[in-house]
Copies of this chain bind each other. A is one copy, B any other.
Amino acid sequence: MISETMYTLGSKRSCIRDLFEYGLQQAAIVGKENVYDYSLGNPSIPAPAEVNGAIAAILQDTDSLAVHGYTPAGGAMSARQALADDLNRRFGTAIRPQNLFLTCGAAPALISVIRALAVEGAEIMGIAPYFPEYVPFVESNGARFVEVPADTDSFQIRLDELEKRITPHTQAVIVNSPNNPSGVVYTRETLERLAEILTRKGAEMGHPIYLIADEPYRELVYGGAEVPFIPTIYPNTVVCYSYSKSLSLPGERIGYVCVPDDAADSEALYAAVAGAARSLGHVCAPSLMQLVVARCASVRPDLEAYDRNRTVLYEALTSYGYQCAKPTGAFYMFVKAPGGSAAAFSDKAKEKNLLVVPGGDFGCPEFFRLSTCVAPDMIQRSLPVFRELIGQF
C-alpha cells in the first residue's frame, strides 16, 4: 500500500551518491589520501566572506520577526527588488520584483515550472548531456521527458535532432549552460539558432514553446567566456537560478524562478508557477537566506581555485591521450572513456580508488564526468592513475 514510484525513487540511489559513499568507505580502509574522488559537484571553496558578514549584520540590524518570519510566497519584496536590480544592471533588462518567485533552490524552481506547463500529454525536452534528475523531475510531475542526443564533439546542441523531436505536445526545452556535466557554455550563436527554431515551430504549432534556462552555474565561467542571458535572445524564456554554486550555499536552498514580462502569457505562467510551488508544499524560501542573497546580490565567487583545477586536469589528461571538450564553465569535465564504455572505465578506475561518474545517466554512456571542485593535491596524486588507466584500454 506504498507508492511503487516513490519507493523506487527513494531506494534507487543515484550512481553519483553510490560512488561518493563507496569513496567514504574506501577512505576508512586505505586512507583518505589514497582515494581520488571526483564524484560530487559540491563546491569546494567556502562561501565568500560577505555571506557570513551579511548574516551577522542582519541578526544585529533587523528585527527577529522580520528575519525569521513568513514572507510572501514569492519572497520578501525588498529581496526580490535587490535581485531584480542586480539582473537589470548586468543584462540591461527590465525585470520587476513581481517577475521573481524565490524558491528553496533550483530543483523546486524547475519542478514548479514543469508542473505549471504539465498539461495533458505535455512533453518537455532535455538536451544530452543533462543533469540526471531532470528525468524524475519531469516524469513524476505529469509530463514526458524527451531526450535530444548529444553533440559529442563540441557539446553544443544538435539543433536538427532537437527540431525533429518537436511535436504539438512540446511545451518546453530545458537548457543548462554552463553545462553539468560537460562544463561547456552554449554560444550566443547556438542560442540564436535555437531561438529561431523555437519561434518558427511555436508559430507552426500555434502555441509558445518555452525555454527553461537552468542556470546555477551562470557565474562560474573562465577565461572571459560569455554566458548570454537567454531572455534577451528568446523572450519565452523562464530562468531557474540557484545561489548554491555562485555563493557556495548548496545546503541553504535558495534560488528563484524568473518569468519575464516578455514571455508569452507571463502573468498566467507566473501564477501557475506559484500554484505549482504551493502544491509542492512551498511556503516561502528560507527567510534569513532571502535577506542574505539580497545583500550579496552583486558578490561574485572567487573562481581561481576551480580555474586552476580545470587547467591542470585538462592539460594533464589530454597530454595522456584522453579526449575532452575544454570546459569553460561550471566545475566539471566530460571525458571520452578509453575503450568506449564509461561504465567499464569507471569500474576499472574504482579498483584503483579513482571515482569518476559514468555518463549513462547524463545521456552519454561513452563519457565520464569529473567534478573539478576538489582539492588540488588530490588531483596531483590521481594523475599517475589516469595515465596508467589509459594504457590498459
Please give the residue numbers on chain A whose beta carbons come within 8 Å of chain B beta carbons, in ascending order: 1-11, 40, 42-44, 46-47, 51-52, 55-56, 59, 63-65, 67-71, 104-105, 107-112, 115-119, 133, 136-137, 140-142, 171, 207-208, 248-253, 265, 268-290
Contact = CB atoms under 8 A, between A and B. Distances in A.
B3 A105 contact: no
Given A1-B208, A10-B275, A105 B43 contact: no
A234 B265 CA distance: 49
A279 B46 contact: no
Given A1-B117, A116-B6, A107 B275 contact: no
B43 A276 contact: no
A273 B9 CA distance: 9
A276 B68 contact: no
Contacts of A280: 108, 111, 280-281
A310 B175 CA distance: 53
Contact of A275 (B6, B283, B289): B6
A3 B42 CA distance: 34
A293 to B, nearest CB: 12
A108 B275 contact: no
Nearest to A142: B3
Nearest to A264: B1
Given A65-B43, A281-B105, A281-B280, A116 B275 contact: no
A215 to B, nearest CB: 16
Contacts of A289: 286
A251 B6 contact: no
Contacts of A288: 55, 251-252, 288
22 contacts: A1-B265, A3-B275, A3-B276, A5-B275, A6-B115, A6-B272, A6-B275, A6-B279, A10-B271, A10-B274, A11-B268, A40-B70, A51-B68, A55-B59, A68-B248, A104-B282, A107-B281, A111-B279, A141-B279, A250-B283, A251-B288, A280-B281
